Amino acid sequence: MKLPVCRGSNPREPIKRVRKMNAEKIKKEVGKHIDKLGKELIGLSNKIHDNPETMFQEYKACRWIASTLESHNFKVEKNVAGLETAFKAVCPSEKKSPRIAFLAEYDALPGVGHGCGHNLISAMSVGAAIGLSKIKNLPGSIVVLGTPAEEGGGGKITMIEKGVFNKIDAAMMLHPNTKNIVGRKALAVKELKIRFKGKSAHASVAPEKGINALDAVIQTFNNINALRQHLTEDVRIHGIITHGGVKPNIVPDYAEALFYVRALDDKYLLKVLEKVKNCCKAAGIATGASVSFELGSGYKSKKLNPTLYSVFKKNFERFVSTDKSPEHGGLGSSDIGDVSHVVPAIHPYISISDKDIPSHSVEFARAAKSRMGNRAIIVGAKTLAYTAVDLFTNPGLMREVKKDFENI
């Protein structure tokens, strides 16, 4: 076989011979390794599923995943970005490029457990990475990033801010769903806490002497409901009352609500936030209560990389038939959106149930440890790994992915 040659960035660097690698041959070999890993990957997934840990408390899951990778010769760095439940695993060396990162999520939902199937996400990413690591002289670096607290804590955002994604050329993960969807958008989201202060009084003897902060919260909900008609159809505003008073016979002098405001466009989201604040201010004027705001965490919208998704789709359809993403509705938010703004990234969906069950539910948690869920681990790991093989063996493809990223 004739071997092509290449030089490094230093013109004086000796010429290195690089073996031309056949993508299909590598995929076949990687697939065999993932099949052999099946029992180990399913065991890891089930163990995480049976021990649900909420955001930033995923100590067991983080330890189990890191230990699995270490047992397959990955170099694991723990406490990444100052987060106790974040890690970075690399094989063979981070110096080799391109650097493809598989993202592992493993936090659960309070009261529901793994109703979003993050146990499967971590197993698929780990399986893809280990399967690829068995290939000798792979022209690039395999990275697994353990990203905690997707369910509201934004672990990936902290990791971005601390530079963990700086040297990554592409990031990939696969999320459980009830459909096989390749390119699906995600909404930008921002958390808004609203506090109203009023004046307490006896609710029966002298209500006229009080200022009802709870009435201001209720009026805020009414104002927002009136606002919905005048917003684009992608916008979602949903909230809860987190404090509404102490006793019915005391006019509430303090009330609090928490809202999530979402939109497809990051800039439009900021405009909607101002409209929501105006709804609150109007409620304060109407009731006489003062209002204050606290802007909490939030995620950016997801940038879709056409080339990267196209490569994934071809590999995905080796195993499953893909479904179209819904034209309207059916969109959530995730800190993978923030990742997609700093590196080329994909976040497709794999079905784990034949039934149309909602995520973030007990039913979905059951599906995350079902026979179909276990099968998704193997299919997902292979698809992610095969997509990485295409990027590793085709430098032109990697250039197209980066070009797409720059132009989106």
Name the token pair of 333.
């938010």
What three-state secondary structure class fits 281? helix
Are residues 141 and 48 in contact, defined by beta-carbon separation less than 8 angstroms? no
Query: pLDDT at position 164, please?
Result: 98
Phi and psi at 179, nearest 5°, equal -135, 160
Query: pLDDT at position 19, please?
Result: 43
Residue ranges per structural domain of the chain: 19-186+302-407, 188-299
Q: What is the CATH number of domain 188-299?
A: 3.30.70.360
What are 2's strand-pairing partners? none
Query: pLDDT at position 8, please?
Result: 33
Residue (of 19, 21, 26) closest to 382 by Cα position: 26
For residue 12, the 8-state DSSP code is T
Q: What is the CATH number of domain 19-186+302-407?
A: 3.40.630.10
Query: pLDDT at position 297, please?
Result: 87
Are residues 166 and 97 in contact, defined by beta-carbon separation less than 8 angstroms? no
Residue (of 309, 300, 209, 197) closest to 252 by Cα position: 197
Query: pLDDT at position 408, please?
Result: 86
Distance CA 281, CA 274 (A): 10
Are residues 320 and 312 in contact, defined by beta-carbon separation less than 8 angstroms? no
Query: pLDDT at position 181, please?
Result: 95
* Total residues belonging to the chain: 408
Instruction: For residue 380, give the amino acid letter.
Output: G
Tell me how far CA of residue 261 lies from CA of 158, 191, 217, in angstroms. 21, 7, 16
Query: pLDDT at position 1, please?
Result: 32
- pLDDT, tens digit only, all 408 positions of the chain: 333 333 333 333 332 333 456 999 999 999 999 999 999 999 999 999 999 999 999 999 999 999 999 999 999 999 999 999 999 999 987 777 899 999 999 999 999 999 999 999 999 999 999 999 999 988 899 999 999 999 989 999 999 999 999 999 999 999 999 999 998 899 999 999 999 999 999 999 999 999 999 999 999 999 999 999 999 999 999 999 999 999 999 999 999 999 999 999 999 999 999 999 999 999 999 999 999 999 998 999 999 999 999 999 999 999 999 988 765 567 889 999 999 999 999 999 999 999 999 999 999 999 999 999 999 999 999 999 999 999 999 999 999 999 999 998
